[in-house]
Amino acid sequence: MIRTSSIHSEAGDPFAAILRPPDGETDYDRQLRLKREAEAKRISDSIDDELRKDEKRYKKRKEDVKLLLLGQAESGKSTLQKQFQLMYSPNSLEEERLSWRSVIYYNIARPVRRIFEVIDTYGDGDSDDDSTAEEHQEHKGPPSESSLSGDQVSNSDKQLASLRLRLSPLLSAESSLSDRLSGGTPVSGGTSKGNLFVRSGWQARALLKSKFRDRSSFTGQRSSLENAMPRKSEDSGMVIGEKDQLIEEVANILYACQDDIKELWDHTTVRSLRETRKLRLEEWAELWVILPGQHNSSVFSRVCPNHSSAIIFMAPVSAFDQYLEEDPRTNRIDDSLQLFTHICSNQLLKNAHLVLFLNKTDVLLSKLANGVNVKKYITSYGERPNDFDSVVNYFRAHFTQVHKRNNENQRVLYTHLTNVVDKRATQSIITNVRDSIFRVYLKSAALV
């Protein structure tokens, strides 16, 4: 930028005239001018410094490798992502841990609501109403109130009414938690169990909300605790570790309600419903976290990777005896192969480094050890031996074939047999994958 010291002395320099001290400059004016010039130089130097840093950042960004984890549902993407986090960014897992409190609390509050819903259904005395299929699937008659005397029934009703009242804060909390986890999207039950389906990014959202201090607690009011805190504008960040008001309130409610929850669980009516298997709480407590569109080719048409991208495609080889929930005629291995075909042939991804994880090999091993026969599900497997090596080689050959048929760029396919639950083995594979990616880029850089 501007170099004041040398310019003064250079004859013919257009800046020299501008920067020359004015005629008759007093000592005081000279001091001011020198101060201004020093300040201008300081600013100029700091701009130069920023530009140099920007250049470095830009270069580094160009060297970064973007990694895409792709594969059908339940193939192990999230598990592998956790292994990456454990290896390269363990702090991010610690931050994420906080967000799991919402999930755990939701999984406690949700079944309480469901118990009351089922009680209401049977309380109507109409077993053929239009309540959920699951509740009626195994219904063999009304619960035991029918066998109780009138007094007992009214006592039981009173107890339940009182419990409902005492547990009402927890029921409100459940709605707030559900709101938070679904990002305000109404809960759309994928099944009659009423599971909450959460879009990807819920953890970030949960963290963000807690960071920006959730003003809308489930009571709908600012708590005294919150009122006592100085308000911050929405764009001011919050330090992690600052208390999440909603979560703290739910924790208090759960603590206060613990005996009522136990009482509800042990109540004659609820026990009877449990015994007749109408209340399968272990299923209701499940909260599912999904990546939207994971089974949709748009998931990869949205990404526009540059030359420095790598794809890890996860194919669960243990899934040979499973079928898609949304299409029970499609074998999951077959589905995985179709997805892999799309990825190999996708023009946007054609320059990405390609790595295939034949995952869940431990599950495959145990299925084979338990005598599950591959040819029963994959007829083309024929009379090949039903052992691990033969099965894995058979599946690997199919994936390799798909890759060969869709490989106009002559890229290499790196294949690994994985069990991504196994931390040590997976981390060694990750290192291996990282090295192979860098080898390829170094090679292509040398060629360029």
Ligand X SMILES: Nc1nc2c(ncn2[C@@H]2O[C@H](COP(=O)(O)OP(=O)(O)OP(=O)(O)O)[C@@H](O)[C@H]2O)c(=O)[nH]1
Q: Which residues bind ligand X (CB under 6 A)?
A: 71, 73-79, 290-291, 294, 359-360, 362-363, 418-421
Tell me whether residue 74 or residue 117 sits nearer to ligand X (CB atom): 74
Tell me whether residue 125 or residue 190 sits nearer to ligand X (CB atom): 190
Location of structure tokens 């890890």: 312
Tokens in use for 297? 């080719």
Is 422 one of the annotated binding-site residues? no
Is 362 one of the annotated binding-site residues? yes
Residue 101 near residue 210 (C-beta atoms within 8 A): no
Nearest to 394 by CA among 296, 327, 315, 325: 315
Tell me whether residue 351 or residue 427 sits nearer to ligand X (CB atom): 427
Residue 114 CA to residue 194 CA, distance in Å, equals: 9
Whole-number Cα distances in Å, 340 to 43, 65, 333, 346, 349: 54, 21, 10, 10, 12
Output the smallest distance, CB 206 to ligand X, in A: 17
Output the smallest distance, CB 435 to ligand X, in A: 22
**Backbone CA torsion sign across 382, 387, 390, 391:** positive
398 contacts: CB under 8 Å, gap ≥ 6: 337
Residue 377 near residue 386 (C-beta atoms within 8 A): no
Output the smallest distance, CB 170 to ligand X, in A: 28
Is 260 one of the annotated binding-site residues? no
CA 418, 421, 426: angle at the middle one, nearest 5? 50
Tell me whether residue 74 or residue 157 sits nearer to ligand X (CB atom): 74
Residue 327 CA to residue 244 CA, distance in Å, equals: 41
Residue 264 near residue 115 (C-beta atoms within 8 A): yes
Tell me whether residue 77 or residue 403 sits nearer to ligand X (CB atom): 77
Tell me whether residue 208 or residue 291 sits nearer to ligand X (CB atom): 291
Output the smallest distance, CB 289 to ligand X, in A: 6
Output the smallest distance, CB 141 to ligand X, in A: 37
Is 269 one of the annotated binding-site residues? no
Whole-number Cα distances in Å, 274 to 112, 143, 269, 378: 13, 10, 9, 39
Tell me whether residue 79 or residue 217 sits nearer to ligand X (CB atom): 79
Output the smallest distance, CB 209 to ligand X, in A: 22
Q: Which residue is nearest to ligand X (CB)?
A: 76
Output the smallest distance, CB 357 to ligand X, in A: 9
Cα R_g (the chain), whole angstroms:
32
Residue 375 near residue 386 (C-beta atoms within 8 A): yes
Output the smallest distance, CB 69 to ligand X, in A: 8
Residue 206 CA to residue 100 CA, distance in Å, equals: 9
Tell me whether residue 238 or residue 363 sits nearer to ligand X (CB atom): 363
- Annotated binding-site positions: 359-362
- Annotated binding-site positions for GTP: 359-362
